[in-house]
Amino acid sequence: MSRLNGFLRGVRVLDLTRHLPGPLATLLLADMGAEVLKIEPPDGDGMREMGPRKADGSSACFSAVNAGKTTRRIDLKSTAGRAALLDLATSADVLIESFRPGILTRLGVGYDVLKGVNPRLIYCSLNGFGCTGPLAQMAAHDLNYVALAGALPPLGADGSLPDTPLADCAGGLFAALALVSALYGRGRDGQGCHIDLALLDAVLPLQILPLAQLGAAGVPPRAGEGPINGGAACYRVYETGDRRRVALAALEGKFWHAFCAAAGRPDWVARHADPLPQRALIGEVASMFGGLTLEECERRFGPADCCFAPVRELPEAVASAHVRSRGLVHRTGDGELQPLFPAIVDGEPPRPRPPLGEG
């Protein structure tokens, strides 16, 4: 066992969440050694029916976010089910749930009741809009949260979106951070607490730089006109002559100078400070990249230390020498790819996750 896998040894977590945000949070806690019991309704977590199937017919997505935990099905609408949860809560350190506000209270197993049986319990409500506010009861998914948080990127002509659900992942990460911090705080005062964490809210800290501009200038950066959203020639994605893409991020002067030298265009150096958006310079740089293949770009700009990288497809990224050397993506015996907790402690990566067990 690596040190990371033992950081939360002895911590008991009850996970009443479904789909991605909550299970991602408890997956990270399990990675650090917590004992996570996933409590599912009698018909199971709906994510069991979502996404691609593994060879045994089970959901690859469900398995990915619930490995390393144990599961138990409890009907919280029944007297016996509620009693079972209360019994489990007496010895738990953490309970995390993703119901709409008020549902568990109406069932008789809300925070106040659970706090009564275990004052040390750290209870996290992780839902779309939080426990308060005018949208608290609104149904929504990741796309809605990102849209309402002002973070939806400009769409392509086909309306396509990234595969990574921004709000769901941010919510899971912030929940894990809050829970670990609450455990640390409880070690000082012995008291549990109620954490109210909304997925929409979790998107806002990710926009710390646009919000800084909004506060200072009264307007947010417009797409394609700011220094890091496509308005600067030094920080963009460009297409190569063989229809691949490259990412240039030469923000600082020294990196831009190195890039211009490798491009054989010393006349571009002074244009680093051209007013935004730098459409003319962007066109010239695009033309240069368009005359080269990806391989030629890598040979020319890779050694130049100018913040240049090829845009890899996911299979290429996983197979790359660097990712393989870090040992943080594990392929299981049945072919499943596990992105492990991204931390190496005392030189040792985390161990692969065991499969979901039955409690």
Catalytic hit among 163, 168, 189, 305: 168
Task: State yes or no: is 346 an active-site residue.
Answer: no
- Which H, E and C letters describe the chain, residue by residue? CCCHHHCCCCCEEEEECCCCHHHHHHHHHHHCCCEEEEEECCCCCHHHHCCCECCCCCEHHHHHHHCCCEEEECCCCCHHHHHHHHHHHCCCCEEEECCCCCHHHHHCCCHHHHHHHCCCCEEEEEECCCCCCCCCCCCCCHHHHHHHCCCCCCCCCCCCCCCCCHHHHHHHHHHHHHHHHHHHHHHHHCCCEEEEEEHHHHHCHHHHHHHHHHHHHCCCCCCCCCCCCCCCCCEEEEECCCCCEEEEECCCHHHHHHHHHHHCCHHHHHHHHCCCCCHHHHHHHHHHHHCCCHHHHHHHHHHHCCCEEECCCHHHHHHCHHHHHHCCEEECCCCCEEECCCCCECCECCCCCCCCEEC
As annotated, the active-site residues are: 168
